[in-house]
Amino acid sequence: MRRILLAVVSLSVALAGLLGAGVPSSNAGGTPPAFVIMTYNIKNQDGDWPQRAGGVYNIINTLSPDIMALQELTNLSMSGINTSYGASYARYPDADGSAVAVFYNRGRYVLDPNAGVTDKVQFAAPPQAGCTRGNYVKAGLWDNQASPPRPYLVITAHLAAGNCLETRTEQVKLLRAAVAARPAGWTPIVLGDLNNKTPACSNATTGKPIALLGDPGASYNLNPTVPMSAPCGYGQATINNGWNTSNTDDDARWDYIFANNNLVVQAENINKSKWTYGGTTKSPSDHYAVWALLSP
């Protein structure tokens, strides 16, 4: 009877994590323990940041990620996040001015200073006129809660937006090269705002950048936490064109977490929490936060 009750409880917890906006505890794993990772484009719009900030913080507090990758940071939003979370999270790069950054739990992870692992890299000049150059961040993190400590290479990127398919394809090739060049024994994770639909929700040509990251023939074997065969539409969308209104106008999946296939995806979801500011309840950003609970 005791075994049956434990099985029911375990199944209930797993389903709650999969179906709800919250996330299971990262302390539920064994050794090495599971961890929660999140990517979130918080919108580089300073004018209403003081009003939106509470909504962003609410999502961070709800998910309580061990590692979070943020895009479209400004000095103002970075300052607010540092003030609110600096005691709990360290970040790389640790200087203002970077639009993308990796934040990690101070009590769990240690940054590897080796430039071959940890670095802020600017993409090459885009091959298409009018496309943004962008950059990405590589953070080598040692998980000290694992026994022995386990190294992760966390790469977050914000790829060119708009009619820049060729540019995004070249940028993804650079991300693949960065993962392939990692030191032996490092487990890679690539996440961020990739500004591209899945192949299943577009076609083989326009979905190429995403297909390249999830190429099963690649040496690093990255798998998306949400299968590329997932249905298109509202349920899998991470961009909300109606974010600054009370409407929800979900467009497509642009934000992803790709994890090495040595990692088990215990749960994943999209947090679509809203926040009341400016007299209206709405999304605090035009993107939603995407999270996953991963374990070795």
Average pLDDT per run of 10 along the chain, which is 296 residues long?
38 39 51 90 95 97 98 95 97 86 97 90 88 92 95 96 94 92 93 90 85 78 73 77 80 89 92 92 94 95
Helices (H) and strands (E) in the chain, counts: 5, 15
Taken as a whole, the chain contains a residue count of: 296
Strand-pair partners of 270: 290
The pLDDT, as a whole number, for residue 224 is 79
The pLDDT, as a whole number, for residue 229 is 63
The pLDDT, as a whole number, for residue 45 is 93
Q: CA torsion 28→30→89→260, rounded to 10°?
A: -110
Residue with tokens 């926040």: 275
Can you read off the two tokens belonging to residue 115?
A: 């430039």
pTM for the predicted model, two decimal places: 0.88
Domains belonging to the chain, first-starting first, are 2-295 (3.60.10.10)
Amino acid, single-letter form, for residue 288: Y
Q: Name, in order, each residue with C-beta under 8 angstroms of 168's C-beta and a sequence gap of 6 or more.
A: 159, 160, 194, 195, 196, 209
Q: Name, in order, each residue with C-beta under 8 angstroms of 17's C-beta and a sequence gap of 6 or more.
A: 23, 24, 266, 267, 269, 293
